[in-house]
Amino acid sequence: MAWLRLQAAAAVLALTAIAGAAHGFEFHEATIDAIQLGFRNGSLTSTALVRFYLDQIGRLNPLLRAVIEVNPDALRQAACADAERGRGQPTGALHGVPVLLKDNIATRDALNTTAGSLALLGSVVRRDAGVAARLRRAGAVVLGKSNPSEWSEFRQVDNGWSARGGQTRNPYVLSSDPCGSSAGSGVAAAANMAAVTLGTDTDGSILCPSSFNSVVGIRPTLGLTSRAGVVPITPLQDTVG
């Protein structure tokens, strides 16, 4: 009889776990498709998603140094996205999705755009970079800026180091190379600090951190993504992905 009671209790716990999974949302490793499904079925809001990523950044970034700055307007943007969704007005596939941008991609907001350098701290850009403007039109939440190798390693520094952000560290092996000037974007994606991150690639700076930090990276063919408002190295090789 005791064994039957134990089996019954185990079955109840299993059903409870299944029910919780059905009505909850799994934040870790969430894809854009899963996020949009959560928005539609009511198990997720943009505000909850932004709070989760801000919590991840708060807990992990002092060690990993992948994020150079968070957007003080991120929660307000998330609340606006939730309100638009409530009125049946989503604006795109990235609507309400938090995105981190490498710190060489200009944003006309409360965030700095410095390429990791103290020399540009406090400077004000005239407009959003082309890719940032498209993200806003798609309804994305600009969560903050990821830590680059300073000047995208045009200044000779270690991979993932900047004067502003310090040394980005590989989340799987802290002593391992995070690789490439977009190391912060790669590490942030790997450590669940954002659903999506943007980086730039001149000579492997998207491909290398993607490989070393076990995430998927896409390096678009040269010219397929706008480079307007991105701190450059060379127009012959730079691409945003």
Whole-angstrom CA distances from 24 to 11, 19, 20, 202 are 20, 8, 6, 41
Q: Does the pLDDT value for residue 185 go beyond 90?
A: yes
Q: Identity (one letter) of the amino acid at 94? A: L
Q: Per mean pLDDT, which of 55-64, 86-95, 145-154 is the most reliable?
A: 55-64
Each residue of 90-131: pLDDT tens digit?
778 899 999 999 999 999 999 999 999 999 999 999 999 999
Determine the 3-state secondary structure of 137 from DSSP: helix
Catalytic residue status for 145: no
**What mean pLDDT is reported for the chain?**
89
Residue 120 near residue 113 (C-beta atoms within 8 A): yes
Catalytic residue status for 181: yes
DSSP 186-218: HHHHHTTS-SEEE-EESSSTTHHHHHHTT----
Q: Which domain holds residue 182?
A: 45-240
Whether 141 maps to a domain, the answer reads: yes
Kindly state the percentage of the chain with pLDDT values over 70.
Answer: 90
Q: What is the pTM of this model?
A: 0.87
Whether 134 maps to a domain, the answer reads: yes
Q: Does the pLDDT value for residue 6 go beyond 70?
A: no
Of 28-42, 148-162, 191-205, least confident by mean pLDDT is 148-162
Whether 74 maps to a domain, the answer reads: yes
Catalytic residue status for 102: yes
Each residue of 129-150: pLDDT tens digit?
999 999 999 999 999 999 999 9
**pLDDT value at position 2?**
45
Whether 183 maps to a domain, the answer reads: yes
CATH number at residue 81: 3.90.1300.10
- 7 compared with 160, residue with greater pLDDT: 160
**pLDDT value at position 19?**
36
Whether 1 maps to a domain, the answer reads: no
Whether 178 maps to a domain, the answer reads: yes
Q: Which helix (H) or strand (E) holds 4?
A: helix 2-23
Q: Does the pLDDT value for residue 213 go beyond 90?
A: yes
Whether 204 maps to a domain, the answer reads: yes
Determine the 3-state secondary structure of 148 from DSSP: coil
46, 102, 152, 210: the active-site residue:
102
46, 149, 152, 181: the active-site residue:
181
Residue 166 near residue 147 (C-beta atoms within 8 A): yes
Whether 27 maps to a domain, the answer reads: no
Determine the 3-state secondary structure of 102 from DSSP: strand
Q: Which helix (H) or strand (E) holds 136?
A: helix 130-137
Tally of domains within the chain: 1
46, 117, 185, 205: the active-site residue:
205
Any idea what DSSP says for residue 53?
H
**pLDDT value at position 17?**
38
